[in-house]
A and B are shown apart, each in its own frame.
Chain A
């Protein structure tokens, strides 16, 4: 099977004669056989990027390459991409078998080979008992499987998925998540997956491209994205609950926090306004004055979630979140939020990571 890397070079997409900018100067490299996730809030341009790769939209500027081939003017079928839509887009008047056979039929695959390929795909997705049913008779999960079967049956070189799990219930979503991942690595197809769900992105993606306002903010492996968010925007978007950002001023190698106290940094002597980022899970809540770095506040609310507890601490009128395995503090308690200086992220006044 021919495998393909995808490359987007300065791709922009405008709608309504330039009134709407859906994508701005997107640069992205997807490697052969990679599972890349486009993650972003709604309206961030991730679906448009996917549609540009699919060939359903043509870029206003920039170039798209599949391997060494420039595909800007190629139709979706020439690009040999397969796409799974959020609402499945099954052909309502055809049976399950008709749906899966459709891409093969329009490509003039011989009936014998069609049968083989359909059997292969439906067995892989465990839907070989549904062949004669109409889409309207299927459950959401079954429809999803049929649309996946329709996508893989013609052995595409690129597999595109547009929020494929968002119409499923929570339990099924978890199940399909691992199944999709398994399917992709078994088939070894390059996949681009669009989602607004960071958990989905982190668990499935080889790499994640975080998008906002039509551009890519950061492309990184899940671990790195979590460990080294390059901007405050990404920092606030990744993690549950997201990173706390505290305002401060940098002076002589130390950061003085607006809420009191200071943290020394190993950075140079530059000065200016900065944001200090600490992940909720890197805080330890203590009622005793500590020896290390800490900030002081009053417990506002406690959210026990079973596997962990979120303690919302009011610091100078702003809520700082801490994630604790268990806690004994209660609302109104004066507490110290302890953290290690190695867990601190420092962002400049433009929101870029400093150290």
Chain B
């Protein structure tokens, strides 16, 4: 490379300026308004995370230690006994309810993803009669309060024999999810360049092949976002299982948490351990998929 450089070539590195330590520190320090903004942000972050720390502490310590406040740290003992108790909880052991929750959540997510993509694609791409009306109906359902609709759902499930079955609960979740999933995926697919599909048509692909080999892979980041949000939503759902699941052996995890508080004295440790066990699954999923999740969110929202 050396011989290619001419006399007039700019230096390869910026010139070093000699500054004493104090000047450097002064430059590195934020200005006052900026520092104030940091302080507010950090304050909010702490406020946000404190209850969670409390929950974590409560779950790992015996009840006697936390009864006067988890922030008393002297003589702290860590134990897993709350977790064992939660997993063995007599009414509905967490070891079972967590599996039950997975049985309901996984199909609810998969079906919504597949159906959602299949419905969103025509809305994003094709012209057909009543397109706007149909889309409007799909969206308006999201505005209805679940408590109200649940009454109708209750009757329908009773009449069709799906009450107190997972299939019924899954259908209700799919129905609730489809509205926002279609809206979200449609917005994302509006960003799919026409030329890609045209190129595929010219390459000889059928509509279905285009959907499977071009549209779906292109939507992967958005589908991951949908999966994470829908998973969290269904996994954490309390109201629907409470209304539609009656048999204790079919109970889902979030449904069981309020039962853990006991009759005479609230066993905070047990409730905390149960809560941590329940929330661990969606949180882990989010952490694993976070990168894709953000990408999908950005692309679906940005136009």
Tell me the A residues contacting B by CB distance below 8 Å: 54-56, 75-77, 81-83, 85, 87, 89, 91-94, 102-103, 106-107, 150, 154
The reply to whether A150 and B203 contact each other, CB–CB distance below 8 Å, is yes
Contact call A56/B209, Cβ cutoff below 8 A: no
Given A91-B214, A93-B217, A93-B218: A81 touches B202 (CB 8 Å cut-off): yes
In Å, the complex CA distance between A77 and B210 comes to: 13
Residues A83 and B204 in contact in the complex (CB < 8 Å), given A91-B214, A93-B220, A106-B209: no
Interface residues of B in 208-233 (CB under 8 A from A): 209, 213-214, 217-218, 220
Q: Are A75 and B201 in contact (CB under 8 A)?
A: yes
- A109 CB to nearest B CB, Å: 10
Listed residue (A76, A87, A107, A150) with the most chain B CB atoms within 10 angstroms of its CB:
A76
Q: Which residues of B contact A55 (CB under 8 A)?
A: 202
Q: Does B110 interact with chain A (Cβ within 8 Å)?
A: no
Interface residues in B, total, Cβ within 8 A: 18
Q: Is the CB of A83 within 8 A of B209?
A: no
Residues of B within 8 A of A154 (CB): 203-204
A contact residues around B196 at 8 Å (CB): 89, 91-92
A77 contacts B202, C-beta separation under 8 Å: yes
Given contacts A87-B195, A89-B195, A92-B218, contact A56 B201 (CB under 8 A): yes
Residues of chain A lying within 8 A (CB to CB) of residue B220 = 93
B residues sitting closer than 8 Å to A (CB atoms) are 193, 195-196, 198-206, 209, 213-214, 217-218, 220
Interface centre among B193, B196, B203, B206 (most CB of A within 10 A): B203
Query: A92-B218, A93-B217 known; A106 and B203 CB under 8 Å?
Result: yes
Q: Complex formed: what's the CA distance from A103 to B206 in Å?
A: 11
Q: Which residue of A lies closest to B204 (CB)?
A: A77
A107's partner among B204, B214, B217 (CB-CB below 8 A) is B204
Residues on B with beta carbons closer than 8 Å to the beta carbon of A82: 202
Give bound CA distance, A326 to B33, whole Å: 66
CB pair B205–A106 under 8 Å, yes or no, is: yes
Q: Which of B193, B196, B202, B220 has the most CB of A within 10 A?
A: B202
A76 touches B201 (CB 8 A): yes
* Interface CB pairs A-B, < 8 A, 5: A76-B202, A77-B201, A102-B200, A106-B206, A154-B204
Q: Do A56 and B198 touch (CB < 8 A)?
A: yes
Closest chain A CB from B201 CB (angstroms): 5
- Which among A75, A81, A85, A107 is the interface contact of B195 at CB below 8 angstroms? A85
Q: How many angstroms between the C-alpha atoms of A150 and B217 in the bound complex?
A: 19
B193 touches A56 (CB 8 A): no
Q: Which residues of A contact B195 (CB under 8 A)?
A: 85, 87, 89
